[in-house]
Amino acid sequence: MLRIEWDPKEGIWAEDSDSIEKLQKNFFGEMKGGKLFLEVEDALYVLVFQNGKCFHGGQEVGFDELANHYAGKEERLFIKFNAYRDWRDRGLILKRFSPELRGRKKEKASLKKYPAHRMETRKMDLKIYWHGDSFFSIAENEEYGRELFAKYWFGQWGVYRQERGGILKLDFLETIFLAKHFGVEVIDAKTGKRVSHNDILQHVTREREYAKQLYEVYEDWRLRGYVIKTGFKFGSHFRIYFPGASPVKQDKWIHSKHVLHVFPKEQKMLVSEWARAVRVAHSVKKTFLLSIPEMAKEDYVEYPAYFIAYRRKQEKGSWVRETPEDKPRYLMVAVSEDEHIGGVELASLLKKAADMGLELLLSITDRETSITYYVLKKILLPESDESNEYYEIEWMKP
């Protein structure tokens, strides 16, 4: 039997040599003054899954009594315990967060670099009509309309995936971009007066929340040579085509492999909604990208991190678990499907992980206490606006 002792003032520990030996073998606890001290999640796991017994003053203490005592001291205790339980059940090790620990990656080495080619813009003697209540503009000029669609993939020429209808339809993002970078003249369809790209952006921002941030991200990728189209069918803001993609050249790759969701720093999103968008992208074999725009140095906050996680490594042709003698891989944050996470908090956690040479791992507990894991990796988009942060999010099976 594994025996552990508990005193509300002193903590939780094992003191008999047999229990200490068995616990240390699986990297539970830390030795101090001849005792092996355990975190509450260690102790709860030992009680439920290691046939352990806990005693206080000679009286046996059950799971509820121990958990209830620490519930007021450890915020969201059960969510953290469930993440701990799942990782341990997989034969893997994790420890409480310590700022002194450093991972295996240097900050630059952990970045995923995307190709970028500065977009060549030019002035166009083109007039388009803005339908403000529909958030679309129309170009009837066939010469310029076909060029914008075929060469740059702006708008939709004719009917989607058909040749019918000789007009170019442009959404509000494309309209603003063309007015700003191609000198296209935009006329308000209702008033007949010319409107600037700022006028359109201000109008849309009044009607649609976070339109400004959507445009900033759209412009950032467009100027790097990417084609950005709606991601509506995939539950995201954008689908992304790498430089060179075209809607008419059959020798070019015309299937998007990435979708991008804009997560404004002021916004808080239900974890289940966020995870659902990632799952939709993965179900159609697309990489899910996340953007947190307009992050300034003063925006970052100290958001609590919970665990440092180890995985497995190859050694002499076999896979063996990593231990605290190895450099850790992940900064793990445990959340549930029924809570919210904000853009600022997520960006702050990502920065903390990168500074420590770790990748950020989100552990999501659903209502059946099953766990889903997502790894977030920062993207380097050359010459991009530094205030816009981009990340790849991948489902991970430990």
Cite the active site residues.
241, 255, 286
352/204 Cα distance (integer angstroms): 35
156/136 Cα distance (integer angstroms): 11
141/152 Cα distance (integer angstroms): 16
Inter-residue contact 150 to 248 (CB < 8 Å): yes
66/345 Cα distance (integer angstroms): 30
66/54 Cα distance (integer angstroms): 9
- DSSP for 207-250 reads HSTTHHHHHHHHHHHHHTT-EEEE-GGGTSSEEEE-TT--SS-T
| Nearest of 282, 284, 302, 232 to residue 261 by alpha carbon | 232
35/192 Cα distance (integer angstroms): 82
Q: How many residues does the chain have?
A: 398
How many angstroms from the chain centroid is the CA of residue 47? 34
390 phi and psi, to 5 degrees? -130, 140
| Nearest of 111, 137, 113, 115 to residue 126 by alpha carbon | 137
174/270 Cα distance (integer angstroms): 30
- DSSP for 44-81 reads HHHHHHS-EEEEETTEEE-HHHHHHHHHTTSTTHHHHH
Residue with tokens 């015309």: 254
Ramachandran sector of residue 249 (left: φ over 0; alpha: ψ -120 to 50; beta: rest): beta
The count of C-alpha atoms lying within 13 angstroms of the C-alpha of 57, restricted to the half-sphere facing its C-beta, is 3
By the 10 Å C-beta count (0-12 exposed, 13-18 middle, 19+ buried), 186 is classed as buried
